[in-house]
Amino acid sequence: MANCIRCGRQLPPLSFKKICQWCVQHEKAQRGEDVDEYQPVIRQPWVRRRSESTISLTQVLFGANLAVFLAMALSSGSVVEFHLDPRLWGANYGPLTLSGDWWRLITYMFVHAGLMHIAFNMWCLWDLGALCESLYGRWTFLGIYLITGVGGGLARLVWDPYVPSVGASGAIFGLAGALAASFYLGEFSLPSIAVRGTFRSLAFFIGFNVLFGFGYNIFTGSSGGVDNACHIGGLVSGLVLGALIARLAPQHDAPLRRASVVGVVVLAMLGVGFGVRQWRGAPMRMARAFQETQGDPVARLRTVVKEQPNLAPARFALAQAYIAKQQFPDAEAELKKVIELQPANQDARLVLGMVYLSEKRLDDSKATFSQMLAANPNSAEAHYGLGLVLAAQQNDQGAIEEFKKASGARVSGLEYEMGNSYARLKRYDDAIAAYLKEKDKSGDDPDLEAALASAYQAKGLAQQAQEAKNREAQLRGQTTQ
């Protein structure tokens, strides 16, 4: 089947013409002849309607980004690199976005990390935005910008929600994707060589930036440098939206058809957002509960547990929050539920044993640590817990044996507790050695210095005892007489 020599469109079967009917009509329109049938499916990217304002939406978006940048620069005192918490300025951050701050999927597009970041993004927005706005019209252009920006933000949450994301690049890649799809699938009243040239430029822009992003992150070993997840999310959503518009609603004089296509994509994006929330929402809300500088983490974690009662990590975190408030019965209830949901969870059993110990329920604590040792005789944490129980029962020799078996336990204060047992057995040399070892491991501590002073005093080492007392007083912010 032959193609038009002007635009490259396929000619009708068995046609002997070299130019398609559309190009013939276009040439007549260029000569000023009346051609009622002439109507380009997608208008030329360089044409602006007379009814449109002289201020474009591209300029409005450019100004909004610049305004936020200047505000951040004034707060930071620098324009080169900001020393600010981007989360306070609306960054897309999983624990916040997925726990109620959905507006961050919009605001992150207007926040930038420094001068080079905004300079590159605004340079791309100025060129691609003007082209995209001329091609689609201002309101469709705005829809593409926001929808693809949200798509990039959702991709970031899927890839790594714990790294704050800022910048307009997700939306800019969305514009590039929409333009690429339109130039490949759409119909323009201009020679195909011009379309192919623009398409090649867009393909180079997309390929170069994606490859540069991967290369930069591999070279620096960082996942938070160039946000390729956001770039790819914006690009894919832009390709899909641009292709749907080019095929289903290219005409500017069919706004309802165009709005329907955009609406379907918005619904699809909402569905993706709901899926991401279901997948990552509970861990993110749990993370936020611990990161909040204000508010009650217990209340937030209760909400998470109420929404997903079988989410063991949330219940474990809630138990730890109760322990911080010394609400031991509540912590015990949550830890038992965790063990019910995850019988092999030894961390929950360890913390439960410590809760029993704090409540002076030594038999229950001993039984819990013994169960851990029955499952894993080499559990250093269980030996440590059992040593604490034996020490509380005044069986210091037995406690020391358990502490020795606990070498390598993921706990602090092991040598200190062993030193206390040695001191109660009047084995002061061993006690001092244990205290000094704990000091090397954990650093200065007033309680440790007090224990050292007592052991030195019992050994008759008055000078060392006084030095330890002086260090204790300094650490407590006091002075000795």
First to last CA, the chain: 105
- Token pair 């624990």 is found at 95
pLDDT in the model for residue 36? 46
pLDDT in the model for residue 222? 46
88 and 235, same domain (yes or no): yes
CATH number at residue 161: 1.20.1540.10
pLDDT in the model for residue 479? 41
- Range of the structural domain that residue 24 is part of: 1-38
205 and 244, same domain (yes or no): yes
Query: Per-residue confidence of the chain (481 residues) as pLDDT tens digits?
Result: 566 766 665 666 655 667 776 677 667 666 666 544 433 444 444 444 544 557 889 999 999 999 999 999 998 887 777 778 888 899 999 888 988 899 999 999 999 988 888 988 898 888 888 888 888 888 999 999 999 999 999 999 998 888 889 999 899 999 988 988 887 787 654 455 555 656 666 677 777 666 665 654 544 444 445 678 899 999 999 999 999 998 888 877 778 989 999 999 999 999 999 999 888 877 777 677 666 644 567 887 887 788 778 888 888 888 988 998 899 999 999 999 999 999 989 999 999 999 999 999 999 999 999 999 999 999 999 999 999 999 999 999 999 999 999 887 777 888 999 999 999 999 999 999 999 999 888 888 899 999 999 999 998 999 999 999 999 888 887 544 3
- Considering its fold, how many domains does the chain have in total? 3
22 and 85, same domain (yes or no): no
371 and 471, same domain (yes or no): yes
pLDDT in the model for residue 21? 66
Q: Are 431 and 455 in contact (CB under 8 A)?
A: yes
202 and 243, same domain (yes or no): yes
d(CA 235, CA 174): 5
Would 52 be classed as within a structural domain? no
pLDDT in the model for residue 279? 84
d(CA 279, CA 74): 38
Sign of CA dihedral 428, 431, 437, 443: negative
261 and 384, same domain (yes or no): no
pLDDT in the model for residue 105? 95
96 and 212, same domain (yes or no): yes
pLDDT in the model for residue 431? 93
SS3 per-residue string spanning 359-416: CCCHHHHHHHHHHHHHHCCCCHHHHHHHHHHHHHCCCHHHHHHHHHHCCCCCCCCHHH
C-alpha distance from residue 317 to each of 287, 322, 361, 415 (Å): 9, 9, 22, 27
Would 50 be classed as within a structural domain? no
pLDDT in the model for residue 306? 85
**Element containing residue 302 per DSSP (H, E):** helix 297-307
Would 481 be classed as within a structural domain? no
pTM of the model: 0.59
12 and 158, same domain (yes or no): no
C-alpha distance from residue 462 to each of 209, 263, 451, 465, 466 (Å): 70, 83, 14, 5, 6
297 and 277, same domain (yes or no): no
pLDDT in the model for residue 247? 86
pLDDT in the model for residue 47? 46
Answer left, alpha or beta for residue 13, where phi above 0 means left and psi between -120 and 50 means alpha: beta
96 and 184, same domain (yes or no): yes
Would 480 be classed as within a structural domain? no
Would 257 be classed as within a structural domain? yes
Would 47 be classed as within a structural domain? no
10 and 29, same domain (yes or no): yes
Burial class (CB in 10 A: 0-12, 13-18, 19+), 39: middle
Listed in sequence order, the DSSP H helices in 98-168 are: 104-107, 115-136, 138-159
d(CA 61, CA 265): 22
305 and 401, same domain (yes or no): yes
